[in-house]
Every structure is written in C-alpha cells, then in structure tokens.
Amino acid sequence: MSELIFYIIVYCWIAIAIGTFFLLHKVTAPFGRHTRDDFGPTINARLAWCLMELPSPITFSLFFLFGGNTPTPAMWVFFAAWNLHYINRSLIYPFRQKDVKKRMPVAIMGSAIGFNIMNGFLNGFYLGNICDVTKYGIDYLSDIRFEFGIIIFALGMIINFQSDNILLALRKPGETGYKIPHGSLFKYVSCPNLFGEMLEWTGFALMLWSAPALSFSIWTVANLLPRAVAHHHWYLEKFGNEYPKKRRAVFPYIL
C-alpha cells in the first residue's frame, strides 16, 4: 500500500468518526444499561467483550511485528502501551464482571470487531511500515511530546482501572441491578472510567504525534463522550433526587 493511499484511508476514517459523534448524540448504542430487546440476536456479554476487543491487539501486533520497519525503543513503548490496555480490556475486565448472564447484541459486537480491526491496522501498519523510524530515535524518549503523552496515557489508564474497580465492586456475585457509584472521581462525574479512556488515547496520540494515533483519539471521544452523556441522563432518570446533583457527565465542573 502506498503512503498516499494509507493517509487517504486515515483521513476518511477521521471524517467517519466526526459523523459518528453527531449520530451517537441522537442514537445510544444498545448495550450495557442501554440494552434493548429489539436489536436482534444477542450473545453472552463476557464472550462478546473478548471477541470484539482481541482483534485490536492481534491486528496491531501483527502489522507492527511483521512490517518492514525495525522498531526503536520509543516504538516498543507504543507497542507495550497499546497491548497493556487491550490485555486488560479483552482478557481481564470481562472476567471481573459479576453478572455472568448479561447479554450483548451480536450487531454491536460485530461493529466493534470492525472498529478494532481498523484502528489496530492503521496504527500497527503505520509503525510497522509507514513511519520514518528516525523520527522515533533514541532522542525521542526525551521529546516533550513523548514525555507528556506517556504521563497522560498512564494517568488515564489509572483513572480507567480505578473507576472500573469501583463499578465492579458495586455488585455481589450474581447481582444484576445498578447502584450509585461513589468515591474517587465519581464525586465529580458519572463516568470517570470513560474520561480515563479518553485521556489514555489522547496521551497516545500525543506520544506518537501521528495521524493514525490522532484518528484513534478522535474516535474514542466520538464514541465515549455521547455515551457518557447518555449514562449521566440514565442515572438521573433512574435515581432521581437520590443522585448527586453536582455531578457532571464526564468532565468535572464542565460537562
């Protein structure tokens, strides 16, 4: 694939993300607390999480490892960051969920598989074949973009993991209901887990300073910001006056 065609695909993918952002403000993806019975056949949610998240680290790793470029130390950091996130998301997080009977629409799982393959391909192919490896030489480890990016990525991962811990601890084994989460950033927002994930991929985009990484950051916001707003409204409707009135959806004091 030529570099020109690759970047055309990247910028088209960004355009689709922007369109998706506006669509998801009107249509909430029907899984999790927003699951509906009229969205076709369903699959066990634990299995769905594994099947839809694993394609990302697999695709990314294949293109990264078997591309024509020889990875530099900075590129190995990118590789580790990507796979650390997705090992948790695909192989650890699903099996920490207490509701073993929860279902997910097959259509949602299928769309997520396509999404993860595309993002894994764009970033893995870029690092394995397209990028100028001299850009990511040993000096890049002290570049301000790399240093700030890895700090933001790590902070986002900590927030995401900590928030997941709080949410997962709300249920005892076998419980299926929802409760109001408290503690840490839940004091300020309804969805600190989603805020953390947006921070992660913003940091990743800053670390790489590349169009493919930027596309993933834009996609993350396009997917998760509307979902955080939907979650916030759901909490308000379900719990009414019990729900903390000062909480925002995803950005403390702002939104």
Beta strands in 31-73 (DSSP E): 42-44
- 35: which 2 tokens? 């699951």
pLDDT at 132 over 90: yes
What is the torsion angle, in degrees rounded to the nearest 10, for the CA atoms of residue 180, residue 51, residue 205 and residue 195?
Answer: 0
Domain ranges across the chain: 3-242
Q: For 182-192, give one letter per residue: b (16+ CB within 10 A) or e.
A: eeebbebbbbb
- Contacts of residue 126, defined as CB under 8 A and 6 or more positions apart, other chains included, come to 6, 210, 211, 212, 213
- Contacts of residue 224, defined as CB under 8 A and 6 or more positions apart, other chains included, come to 191, 194, 197, 198, 250
Phi then psi for 28, rounded to 5 degrees?
-90, 125
**Rounded average pLDDT over 28-32:** 73
* Per-residue pLDDT reduced to its tens digit, 89-107: 999 988 888 777 788 889 8
Per-residue pLDDT, 54 = 95
- 99: which 2 tokens? 């509701």
CB atoms within 10 A of CB 133: 14
Task: Tell me the pLDDT band of 232, cut-offs 50, 70 and 90.
Answer: very high
Per-residue pLDDT, 33 = 72
- Contacts of residue 137, defined as CB under 8 A and 6 or more positions apart, other chains included, come to 72, 74
Instruction: Give the separation between CA 27 and CA 29, rounded to whole angstroms.
Output: 6
Amino acid at 35: T
C-alpha closest to that of 214 among 204, 203, 201, 205? 205
pTM of the full predicted structure?
Answer: 0.92
Higher pLDDT, 175 or 253: 253
Beta strands in the chain (DSSP E): 42-44, 103-105
* Per-residue pLDDT reduced to its tens digit, 167-223: 988 877 776 778 899 988 999 999 999 999 999 999 999 999 999 999 999 999 999
**Rounded average pLDDT over 146-174:** 92
